[in-house]
Amino acid sequence: MEYRKLIKFGNSSHVISIPKDWLKRNNMSKGDVVYFEEDDKGDIVISSKNPEEREEKKIVNINIDDLSTKEIELEIVASYMKEFNTKNIKGKEIKKREKEIREILKRLVAIEVIEQTDKKVVAKDFLNIKEIRLEDLRKRLDIVIKSMLHDSKLGNGKGQFESVITRDLDANRFAYLLFRVLRRCIEKPGIKKEVGLTSLEVVNEQTLVLTMERIGDLAKRVSREDSRAKLSSSEIKELNGLYDKITENYNNAINAYQKKDYDISRKVYSENKLIQKSCDKSKDKIKSPNAFKVLNLIREMSNNISLIGEVGIMNSQSTLTNVSFE
């Protein structure tokens, strides 16, 4: 690490010298302007380019030949996270696979197809991250997850499953966008400061969003089992009793995180232990293999909700002194 001494300049200003090697690498000379941003720790980051103007117009070429649908999705989502402005999706079977490509692109906010031929699909990214409010976006994701939990209760059947699938796609859209904003916060100190997050809070937000999205996926799987299997009325009653408990614990976990309430977050974590014990007792009251599948999904969902409680503890303003986890 290098250091520089402050030099007093005039009555009220101070100056520092900049390393010669850095100036040479950035092709800078006398009279050029340097820019600086203050990060959440109060440190100053110096740049040779204006942060407002240095956004690159990045283009990515994605060849879909020999790729599965899932692999195509991973490639496109990765390019979205890395903020490639233009996505050239190419391949010998573009026309044949147009529908699945467009379905994947629909899951990404502010992505539009601007050109298509027999050999390629060109998608443009019109997102302006500076217009995104992180808290509002997280609340919208929360609303979707809560509706999925409500409609995935057992006994709703196949009709509700289609609705849950649609909202799962919405949840993925919000989650992808949140991950992209949080990735930008890590890369650009100025953005992190604008949204009012510290480095630790960015990590907490990433964990929270990932966990919420996972809970949505589990709710979809519960709804799928409900649409496929005929559970007895006693099994439905038993499992829905557990489902009500985890839904209430989820609501408490999210509220505690948003309010930075240490005590409620700690209670969410403790409640999971009680729910796990209730799941153990329910094993003796259900008989069918499908009911056991649902029970395991409920158990997994409860563990994920407990993780939100743990993140809430880390996110709270309270000290963690004397707190232990068994």
Give per-residue pLDDT as tens, 99-143.
999 999 999 999 999 999 999 999 999 998 878 889 999 999 999
Confidence of residue 52 (pLDDT cuts 50, 70, 90): low
In this prediction, residue 42 carries a pLDDT of 67
Say how many C-beta atoms besides its own lie within 10 A of residue 57's C-beta: 7
User: What SS3 class is residue 322?
Assistant: coil
Instruction: Give the span between the Cα atoms of 242 and 100, in whole angstroms.
Output: 37
Confidence of residue 51 (pLDDT cuts 50, 70, 90): low
Instruction: Give the span between the Cα atoms of 181 and 179, in whole angstroms.
Output: 6
Instruction: Give the span between the Cα atoms of 213 and 211, in whole angstroms.
Output: 5
When the pLDDT of each residue in the chain is averaged and rounded to a whole number, the result is 88
- As a whole-number percent, the residues of the chain with pLDDT over 70 amount to 91
Instruction: Give the span between the Cα atoms of 203 and 209, in whole angstroms.
Output: 10
Confirm if 209 and 257 have CB atoms less than 8 A apart: no
Q: Reading across the β-sheet that carries 111-116, which strands appear in turn?
A: 59-63, 86-90, 120-125, 111-116
Residue with tokens 């110096």: 46
Give pTM, 2 decimals. 0.82
pLDDT in tens, 271-303: 999 999 999 999 999 999 999 999 999 999 999
Return the bridge partners of 37, or none: 45
